[in-house]
Chains A and B, each alone.
Chain A
Amino acid sequence: AQTVTQSQPEMSVQEAETVTLSCTYDTSENNYYLFWYKQPPSRQMILVIRQEAYKQQNATENRFSVNFQKAAKSFSLKISDSQLGDTAMYFCAFMKHARTPGNTGKLIFGQGTTLQVKP
């Protein structure tokens, strides 16, 4: 079974600074997807960034980038130039690859990291 672990329950960062959120996972699959979701106080789940395991290149979306280390089963999220609106809970999630037999597309989430951006 797959597991996702986020070992930092809470983090804080000064506005305009850079912060990195950690995520590790465990799987026997060779191909899969990894995601970061943001959950602001409104509790809406917003997709931040997506990584396919077979792609060597780390995904980037504007100020958000990941450091994907497949051998170490690590998937950290870097937020550059932090903004007050980045204050939220961040969840790392795993999904089996589309072509995995029997895959239903369910997401397995970590426990979440609460990020506070301070002015």
Chain B
Amino acid sequence: QVQLVQSGAEVKKPGASVKVSCKASGYTFTSYSMHWVRQAPGQGLEWMGLINLRDGATVFAQTLQGRVTVSRDTSTTTVYMELSSLISEDTAVYYCARRATGTGQSDFWGQGTLVTVSS
């Protein structure tokens, strides 16, 4: 069965960076892409970006361009999202979500990783 297991909660100071991992299993890793989505406390969902797991190509939301990096390790079927220059507004739960083939909806989601940015 498809599973996406994310790394644990993080607490970071403003200005620092955070790296969240998403371990995929139960399907052919490189046949899909992976979305990253975040949700600030009590707020809605915000799409962050996407990585093609076959060739590593990425596309990001303009609001995060330059601060977010997404990479993958095909040998361990793990995707990484790194966010730099953290500010308090980056406090959120971060989700990885598999992009389904066809119209590209997120058909499987990780459990989420809470990142807290606080001095």
Whether both chains belong to one complex is answered with: no
